[in-house]
Chains A and B, each alone.
Chain A
Amino acid sequence: DSGVTQTPKHLITATGQRVTLRCSPRSGDLSVYWYQQSLDQGLQFLIQYYNGEERAKGNILERFSAQQFPDLHSELNLSSLELGDSALYFCASSRGTGSSNYGYTFGSGTRLTVV
């Protein structure tokens, strides 16, 4: 157990639908990062939150959004889902932000299948 909790582990939904993925960071970590991993795109950075505020944006689609709550858990919202959104979505956490010598701690991911 890495200390980063992601729910649900698996999600199957239809095209056009909206889903919410949840992440609880490791205790003491203030930053949460979301990544998408697919076979053709590899590991893609989506977005980072630090202590409730958006800190960095990567290749995140406009149909996707995220937020980090006062208790530091984060949610990734995916809407108007397409078949190509099927992927593993990982959450990672770290103590601070910016350059880090601690590394990230990853959750076990949510596997999203869009049918």
Chain B
Amino acid sequence: AQSVTQLGSHVSVSEGALVLLRCNYSSSVPPYLFWYVQYPNQGLQLLLKYTTGATLVKGINGFEAEFKKSETSFHLTKPSAHMSDAAEYFCAVSEDQFYFGTGTSLTVIP
């Protein structure tokens, strides 16, 4: 079975600083990769996805992620954090089913 590892259950950044949320997966073949965001008291919303083609994918709200096959990673970045980015972020891999990471809670410090 697939496993998805998100390093750091809590990440804090200052407003305007770089956001880096890490995700590694265990699949031996390139899977479909996703990042979801969950704002308080809401459902999960798709931020971006990698299926095939360009390994750097851009999503909503200025986020992007890069698929690195050699590192089995799909880290999420944003150049400049905004207060509204404070949320829970989930990495997910789609093989026979979806496998979610345990989530990373992002805090943005004013």
Residues of chain A whose beta carbon lies under 8 Å from any beta carbon of chain B? 2, 4, 33, 42-43, 45, 48, 56, 90, 92, 98-101, 103-109, 111
Contacts and interface: CB of A to CB of B under 8 A. Distances in A.
A91 to B, nearest CB: 9
Interface in B1-54: 31-32, 34, 36, 41-46, 49, 51-52
Nearest 10 Cβ contacts at the A-B interface = A106-B43, A101-B51, A106-B44, A108-B43, A42-B102, A101-B32, A43-B100, A103-B46, A100-B94, A99-B94
Contacts of A43: 90, 100, 102-103
A98 B97 contact: yes
Given A99-B32, A101-B49, A48 B97 contact: yes
Interface of B: 31-32, 34, 36, 41-46, 49, 51-52, 90, 92, 94-98, 100, 102-103
B98 A45 contact: yes
Contacts of A4: 43
Given A43-B90, A103-B49, A90 B43 contact: yes
